[in-house]
Structure 1
Amino acid sequence: MNNTDPTSFESILAGVKRLRQQHGANDNDAARNPHQESRNEVNDRERNLEQGSAQERQITNNIQTSQTDVPKEPIINAITRDPTQFDKDIQESDETSSFNGNKRSLNNTNLDARVISKAVLVNTTQKDNPLLNHLKNTNWRYTSSKGGQKIYYDYLVRQRPVLFLTLTYHKLYADYITRRMTPLSKNDNNILIFVVDDSNSEDTLRELTKLCMFNGFTLLVAFSFEQSAKYIQYLNK
């Protein structure tokens, strides 16, 4: 203790005493006003709420301002829509369509090609055939031999050659059907429509059945021109 600097020691004690006095003064203040700290906290919360409300009002004003700047689009429905617009939209969609990012024209040529591909081809030699009067609900058109391209069928249905024959005509020209079958006998996808329009057809049917078997024809027997037309309609489905 003798080696200790009393001045320094006293200064330390004085500093400690001052700290204790200050701490005691703070305790006395808190004891005199115990709710002071809680009121300060309440005031802080109120200030924070006021600031938050002000920010919310500002955001709301900005949203309302932005909504008023955007023009309102009219509501279009089946009642308010221009009746001519629908036809215009259909016309535009028919004229052009998108394919791989490019526009292509759907012209009448392509449409006709699709329709023609499903049409029954009728040899012009069949113009007077009453069968055509009964050929309903079926697309068909005439065709004829041109240049070196010879047509051997009477009707072409789904790429199947069809020959037409009546019993009356066969009795008059017995060798006719044999000559007609010969050019088509190279394949087995042919059809012969035979109309029984006279009596005593049993022997003729046996002969025609043999001809069809050896020349790649399927024999379809009909008893009227209307029934013959229905055969072609069925084959074209």
Structure 2
Amino acid sequence: MADTKYVFNPEPVYSLPIKGSDAHFPVKRIFCVGRNYHAHAIEMSRPVDKATSRPFYFTKANSTLVESGATVPYPAGTQNYHYEMELVLAIGAPAFRLDQADAAKVIYGYAAGLDMTRRDLQLVARDQGRPWDLGKDFEKSAVCTEIVPVGDLGVLKQGAVSLQVNGETKQSSDLSQLIWDIPELLADLTQFYHLEPGDLIFTGTPEGVGAVKPGDRITGHVDKVGDIALTIGQPE
């Protein structure tokens, strides 16, 4: 109600710019897909057999969102801070128990994203069977470019994905290497959630993840989608 009083100010609307528009895309939830490239699953010592597995997910709060081009402080509590370059889906229509054939109907657009990770904390949690929140869901850990409306792009099936640290290529793959492609991910995730406009889905990272330190500059690219940049600042 208009006259509702709060004991402190409610959180702001977190959003991303939209390419070619003065409007913004309000971000509701952030879903992330774990181990969705075979070579990355192997480098994490957790190979995936698609025949006997299904996708798995973790989430980040929308307050972790930061726009491409920012400088973020090296986060607290870690000594092994990693990049993960990803294609991001922006959802533009409600979806529940979606058929794969209808995937294109719910995609508003795409972005390039970085799932920044406190790897040491994630691995401790993983090996102890605990949630990954400390390793994944922390301030300024979901970096994203502007949203590129789907337009004529349709459902992306291929396209280069790459990342550089200080100009040196660390990740280089293609969307065709996704274990579960976009229609499969949307069909699976909507068995568990009512997806809504404003949701983002980070679709997984290729092999080549690694640590960064203060002063490093990360740049990345997703073909047909865009370029991302992030500078690692000093610890707070």
- The TM-score, its normalising length taken from structure 1, stands at 0.20
Q: Of the two, which has the highest radius of gyration?
A: 1
More strand by share: 2
Q: Which has the higher contact order (CA 8 A, sep 6+)?
A: 2
- Which is helix-richer, 1 or 2? 1
